[in-house]
Amino acid sequence: MSNPNPSSRPPKGMPKPPLVPSRNPLSWMAIGLILLLMFLTVVRTSRVEEISFSPEFLDYVEKGYVKSVRFQSEKITGEFNEAGLAARPDGSAKHFDVIYTPAMYNEKLIERLESAKVEIRGKAQDIWLPILWQLLPIAVLVALIYFFFLRNLRSGGGGMLMNFGRSRHKLRGKEQKITFDDVAGIEEAKEEVAETIEFLKNPKKFKKIGGRIPRGLLLIGPPGCGKTLLAKAIAGEADVPFFSIAGSDFVEMFVGVGASRVRDLFKQAKENSPCIIFLDEIDAIGKKRGPGFVSGGHDEREQTLNAILVEMDGFDTDDQVIVIAATNRADILDPALTRPGRFDRSVNVPLPDLKGRAQILKVHARKVKLGPDVDFERLARVTPMFSGAELEAVINEAAISASMANKDFVEMTDLEEARDKIRWGRAKKSRAVDESDKRLTAFHEAGHALVQSMLKDADPLHKVSIIPRGSMGGATFALPEKDRHVYTRRYCMALLQVWYGGRIAEELFCDDISSGAQMDIQQATSVAREMVMTWGMGEQMGLVNYSGDPARDYYLGPANEYSQKTAELIDQEVKKIVDQAYHDARMLIEANKDKLEAIAKSLLKYETLDAEDVKTLITGGTLDKPTVGDLLVQEQKKTQAN
Ligand code: ATP
């Protein structure tokens, strides 16, 4: 077997090491004793005894038993001196710990230690460290509250707590100038604000003669009719800065913030004079302060409103600041706001009329490429009650859909489709409609279309369609020749007959009747009620208003100021009117059943018919245009060819 560890063998020729003499037992005992003593010493010196601050520690210090102390975060570590060790029982530890809190630290303790000649280490520095450690969580908590709570409260305000009460207005400079050219269809409103522009441009002219120029302008009108736009245009025309803020921005959860924001806004505006302050949604803060029992709890709103009034009262003759406020609900504004010297000039910004709608469409169409067939006058006719904002959306929708169809310009069909989409919702061409439902819808719509076309008191027909849109299965559109500000009895009766035409057609041509008449019945009922209760068109009700005062009802709730007997009479009158309309419409349809059938069948074939198509069918003609099936085949061929 070979040697596993060749290197352990002594090399040849080296002298052998001398043998170690063996120790006697006594020397082993001595070594053991020494080791024991050393161990005891080490144990003694490394052992630590815990003693109380008072009276033990203070007592030992007093007696001069302590050699040194070190202040640490939560304890004092120390060492006894020889006298201390001697005085204490045998085997006591040399070191000690005193548990203490920084509150026990005081100058007196240090004096006592010093007079007892105790060596002190890490005094003040180690004393304050624990205090800081204890304060750290509180500091972190405060920082967290500040960053997450207060900054969020300011939401978008930009940071510092100091800014909390500062105004959150937006300042529009002169670079994004909007002028009267951008505002269309509200000519009277533009004329009314002309003097304000003149005052901002040329105040000396007014000072010369004297007189007080109205500083507060109240723009009143439905949403989206251009109140904000008009205010911006005033600033643009006068070439002055425009400070805008919404009423709701003033209202915070802390009382007094709104008022301080108002003061800040007015201060900044005065520094930038001449300028315009625009307060949108003034009704958010300027609501009437109701009678005692319904008010209360609105301190913040009232304080803000008062601050606005005070600021407006405090204008100097040299301050060229005009305050423009906008609201949809002038009827609920506090009279203090509309008092002379405040918002004493009110300007109506109504829904645009026929001419106005055409102008607004043209203004927004400036940015869009138009096809040769676009007729804004016609589009204006089919957009009654559309606001400026909705008309802008029509142009925009049409431009988007023309782009999606890879067209070079917007055509009339795009605009009409966009109109339908904005008012009634997107066409659901792909929605699978059951054949019997489709037939029911076709006859229902044909009923509306026939009555609409044949009654001379009704608006002319625009088009009829059975393509589902929004929540509707189909629709019949009228093309009013003018905007109506007054409704005659005959027009109202014609409206009711058109609405009932759908249900009557279902009754005469389908086995069943449907819920499709829900909206028709609802609209007919509300017009009939208005006729009786508000417009004095009932036979027995006389010229009495039974529908109350909306402004008063807003605060006190609707009040029925008539007897139960009158209520029954109103119901009877309403029923009489709707029955009459139903009867007349039924007579008309029964006399023209063949025409209605022709319209319904064509609707099933073509899905949409315009006024010309319906006229052709009523006069016994036939339609010569591609059916929906033909169009689908054409479309398929086109896709295959590509
Ligand atoms: P709200 O009461 O909801 O604040 P508003 O009356 O202030 O509405 P604006 O914000 O001025 O309405 O109008 C919205 C948009 O509609 C405008 O930016 C503008 O594009 C368009 N618009 C409204 N009215 C007109 C108008 N008369 N002429 C041109 N564009 C208009």
What is the distance in A from the centroid of ligand 1 to the CA of 387?
Answer: 8
What is the distance in A from the centroid of ligand 1 to the CA of 228?
Answer: 6
* Alpha carbon nearest to ligand 1 atom 4, residue: 223
Tell whether ligand 1 has an atom less than 6 A from the beta carbon of residue 308: no
Backbone φ, ψ for residue 430 (5° rounding): -90, 0
**The pLDDT of residue 4:** 36
Q: CA–CA separation, 63 vs 96, rounded Å?
A: 16
Residue 580's closest CA among 492, 505, 488, 502? 492
Q: Which domains does the chain have, with CATH numbers?
A: 47-123 (3.30.720.210), 170-348 (3.40.50.300), 354-424 (1.10.8.60), 435-634 (1.20.58.760)
Residue 386's closest CA among 526, 520, 222? 222
Tell whether ligand 1 has an atom less than 6 A from the beta carbon of residue 224: yes
* Alpha carbon nearest to ligand 1 atom 16, residue: 389
* Alpha carbon nearest to ligand 1 atom 11, residue: 226
Tell whether ligand 1 has an atom less than 6 A from the beta carbon of residue 328: yes
**The pLDDT of residue 195:** 84
Tell whether ligand 1 has an atom less than 6 A from the beta carbon of residue 284: no
**The pLDDT of residue 360:** 95
Which secondary-structure segment (H or E) carries 327?
Answer: strand 321-327
Ligand 1 atom closest to residue 186's alpha carbon, by position in its atom list: 27
**Residue 524 in contact with residue 611, Cβ under 8 Å?**
no
Ligand 1 atom closest to residue 222's alpha carbon, by position in its atom list: 2
**Residue 271 in contact with residue 303, Cβ under 8 Å?**
no
The 3-class SS string of 223-247 reads CCCCHHHHHHHHHHHHCCCEEEEEH
Tell whether ligand 1 has an atom less than 6 A from the beta carbon of residue 360: yes
Q: CA–CA separation, 387 vs 328, rounded Å?
A: 13
What is the distance in A from the centroid of ligand 1 to the CA of 185?
Answer: 11
What is the distance in A from the centroid of ligand 1 to the CA of 229?
Answer: 5
| Mean per-residue pLDDT pooled into runs of 10, the chain (642 residues) | 37 41 65 75 67 84 87 81 84 82 70 85 62 80 76 46 53 69 90 86 78 81 92 90 81 67 86 87 76 53 83 79 89 81 85 92 93 91 89 94 91 91 74 78 96 94 87 85 87 97 96 91 95 92 82 62 88 96 97 95 91 93 79 67 62
Judging by DSSP bridges, how do beta strands 242-246 and 275-280 pair with one another?
parallel
Strand residues in 455-582 grouped as ranges (E): 461-465, 475-478
Q: What is the largest CA-CA distance in the chain?
A: 149
Q: Where are the alpha helices (DSSP H) in 460-549?
A: 489-509, 518-533
Tell whether ligand 1 has an atom less than 6 A from the beta carbon of residue 396: no
What is the distance in A from the centroid of ligand 1 to the CA of 381?
Answer: 20
Ligand 1 atom closest to residue 184's alpha carbon, by position in its atom list: 28
What is the distance in A from the centroid of ligand 1 to the CA of 393?
Answer: 11
Residue 98's closest CA among 74, 129, 123, 117? 74
Ligand 1 atom closest to residue 221's alpha carbon, by position in its atom list: 6
**The pLDDT of residue 314:** 80
**The pLDDT of residue 38:** 73
DSSP 368: S
Q: Which of 392, 394, 395 to mutate to test the pocket of ligand 1 (most atoms within 8 A of CB)?
A: 392
- pTM (2 d.p.): 0.64
Tokens of 158: 């930009």
**The pLDDT of residue 559:** 63
Q: Which of 225, 227, 368 to mutate to test the pocket of ligand 1 (most atoms within 8 A of CB)?
A: 225
Residue 324's closest CA among 387, 244, 258, 236? 244
What is the distance in A from the centroid of ligand 1 to the CA of 627?
Answer: 41
- For the annotated catalytic residues, the residue numbers are 445
What is the distance in A from the centroid of ligand 1 to the CA of 355?
Answer: 17
**The pLDDT of residue 172:** 60
DSSP 370: B
Which neighbouring-strand residues pair with 605?
A: none
Q: How far apart are the first and last CA of the chain?
A: 93
Q: Which of 228, 351, 359, 391 to mutate to test the pocket of ligand 1 (most atoms within 8 A of CB)?
A: 228
Tokens of 147: 């960053």
Ligand 1 atom closest to residue 231's alpha carbon, by position in its atom list: 11
* Alpha carbon nearest to ligand 1 atom 19, residue: 389
Tell whether ligand 1 has an atom less than 6 A from the beta carbon of residue 327: no
Tell whether ligand 1 has an atom less than 6 A from the beta carbon of residue 231: no
**Residue 470 in contact with residue 426, Cβ under 8 Å?**
yes
Q: Which amino acid is at 485?
A: H
* Residue listed under structure tokens 């009423």: 247
Backbone φ, ψ for residue 576 (5° rounding): -65, -45
Q: Where are the alpha helices (DSSP H) in 145-216?
A: 151-154, 187-192, 194-201, 203-209
**The pLDDT of residue 560:** 66
Q: Radius of gyration (Cα) for the chain, nearest Å?
A: 46
Cα dihedral across residues 367, 372, 378, 382: positive or negative: negative
What is the distance in A from the centroid of ligand 1 to the CA of 183?
Answer: 9
Tell whether ligand 1 has an atom less than 6 A from the beta carbon of residue 232: no
Residue 389: how many CB atoms within 10 A of its CB?
Answer: 15
Tokens of 427: 């066409």
Tokens of 635: 């479309």
Q: Could you tell me which residues come within 8 angstroms of residue 551 by beta carbon, excluding any fewer than 6 positions away? A: 331, 332
Give 394: exposed, middle or buried? Use CB within 10 Å, 0-12, 13-18, 19+: buried
Tell whether ligand 1 has an atom less than 6 A from the beta carbon of residue 348: no
Residue 617's closest CA among 599, 635, 633? 599
Residue 470's closest CA among 426, 415, 432? 426
Ligand 1 atom closest to residue 185's alpha carbon, by position in its atom list: 27
Distances (CA, A) of 525 to 157, 505, 507, 535, 543: 50, 19, 20, 14, 20
Q: CA–CA separation, 574 vs 530, rounded Å?
A: 9
Which neighbouring-strand residues pair with 71?
A: 76
